[in-house]
């Protein structure tokens, strides 16, 4: 029977985010539902015009993602102005990390509030990271196998079988990462992707 050695190894690759999603919220009030709807629509139009004029954003990068109108009796925090209805419009802005600070300032100056800022990576970047992570895992697998083989005064030969595995625990981290400094200085943390392999090598006795 052929002598073999099998090892499991995990490799990791990371990079700074190259995609950002800013979620904005626009709130307007009115004595009627229609008045609240019209007010929030006017605010949204102003926000869009401002972003398109003062930044390099395109129409496709600014999208409305949610809308609701509530009577004051249905609100957790009823209006202090006496208006009976509140309209809320959610707007999403997709951009690059380097533009976040300027967009946040411009959007808030235009009357919107920032619900969240999320950083992530494109599918292309993720694919490249996954390949690099697996390549790093293969290097580690051979190093581990060579260490084991040396104990038995043997040498690791050719690869006989390779299987990829789902990294155990929290080895793959693709969640958005965010660190907020002063003066709207958004500094995203690197995003890491891991890959795990199980490799069987030929084991040659010296």
pLDDT of 179 > 90? The answer is no
Together in a domain, 136 and 147:
yes
One domain for residues 64 and 140:
no
Phi, psi dihedrals of residue 85, rounded to the nearest 5°:
-125, 145
Full domain range(s) for residue 104:
19-120
Domain boundary among 120, 145, 174: 120
Residue 206's pLDDT is 81
Q: What total number of domains does the chain contain? A: 2
Tell me which H or E stretch contains 134.
helix 123-151
pLDDT of residue 169: 54
pLDDT at residue 171 is higher than 60: no
User: What does the pLDDT look like over 94-107, one tens digit per residue?
Assistant: 999 989 999 999 99
Pair 135, 192 in one domain: yes
What local confidence, expressed as pLDDT, does residue 181 receive?
Answer: 42
Which pLDDT band holds residue 168 (cuts at 50, 70, 90)?
Answer: low
pLDDT of residue 77: 61
How distant, in Å, are the alpha carbons of 141, 161, 185, 195, 204 from that of 145?
6, 13, 46, 18, 12
CATH number at 54 reads 3.30.70.2970
Query: 36 and 12 share a domain?
Result: no
Mean pLDDT confidence for 186-193: 85
148 and 106 belong to one structural domain: no
Q: Are residues 87 and 177 in the same domain?
A: no
Residue of 200, 145, 202, 134 whose CA lies nearest to 172: 134
Question: Is pLDDT above 90 for 80?
Answer: no
Q: Give the up-direction half-sphere exposure of residue 10: CA atoms within 13 A in the CB hemisphere.
A: 12
Which stretches does DSSP call E strand in the chain? 4-15, 19-30, 62-71, 85-95, 113-120, 154-165, 191-205
Classify residue 107 by its DSSP letter: H
Compute φ and ψ for 78, nearest 5 degrees: -55, 150
Q: Please identify, among 89, 120, 151, the residue that sits at the C-terminal boundary of a domain.
A: 120
Average pLDDT over residues 163-190: 61
Indicate which CATH number applies to the domain containing 138. 3.30.110.170
- Asked if 161 and 200 count as a contact pair (C-beta separation under 8 A), the reply is yes
Q: What is the pTM of this model?
A: 0.76
Is residue 182 within 8 Å of 133, Cβ to Cβ? no
More confident residue, 1 or 184: 184
105 and 130 co-located in one domain: no
Residues 42, 23, single domain; the answer is yes
Do residues 44 and 58 share a domain? yes
**Within this chain, do residues 44 and 111 fall inside the same structural domain, yes or no?**
yes
Looking at 120, 149, 168, the residue that finishes a domain is 120
CA distances to 68, 88, 146, 190, 206 from 134, rounded to whole Å, are 46, 45, 18, 18, 30
Is pLDDT at 177 greater than 70 in this prediction?
no
Residue 72's pLDDT band, with cuts at 50, 70 and 90, is confident
Q: Are residues 31 and 111 in the same domain?
A: yes
User: Is 137 found in the same domain as 93?
Assistant: no
Q: Give the per-residue pLDDT at 91.
A: 97
User: Does the structure show a pLDDT above 50 at 54?
Assistant: yes
CB 28 within 8 A of CB 36: yes
- Decide: residue 159, CB within 10 A, 0-12 exposed, 13-18 middle, 19+ buried: middle
Q: Report d(CA 154, CA 136) in Å as an integer.
A: 24
Structural contact between residues 40 and 26, judged by C-beta atoms closer than 8 angstroms:
yes
């Amino acid at each position: 029977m052929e002598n073999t050695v099998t090892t499991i190894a995990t490799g990791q690759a990371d990079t700074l985010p190259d995609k950002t999603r800013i979620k904005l919220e626009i709130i307007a009030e009115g004595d009627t539902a229609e008045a609240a709807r019209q007010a929030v629509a006017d605010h949204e139009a102003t926000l869009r015009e401002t972003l398109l004029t003062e930044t390099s954003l395109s129409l496709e990068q600014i999208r409305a993602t949610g809308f609701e109108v509530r009577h004051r009796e249905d609100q957790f925090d009823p209006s202090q102005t006496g208006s009976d209805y509140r309209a809320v419009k959610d707007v999403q802005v997709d951009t690059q990390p380097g533009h976040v600070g300027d967009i946040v300032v411009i959007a808030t100056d235009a009357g919107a509030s920032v619900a969240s800022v999320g950083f992530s990576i494109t599918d292309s970047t993720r694919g490249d990271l996954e390949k690099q992570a697996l390549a790093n895992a293969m290097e580690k697998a051979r190093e581990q196998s060579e260490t084991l083989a040396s104990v038995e005064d043997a040498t690791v030969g050719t690869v006989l079988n390779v299987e990829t595995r789902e990294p155990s625990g929290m080895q793959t981290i693709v969640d958005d990462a965010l660190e907020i400094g002063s003066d709207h200085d958004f500094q995203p943390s690197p995003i890491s992707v891991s890959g795990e392999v199980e490799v069987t090598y030929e084991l040659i006795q010296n």
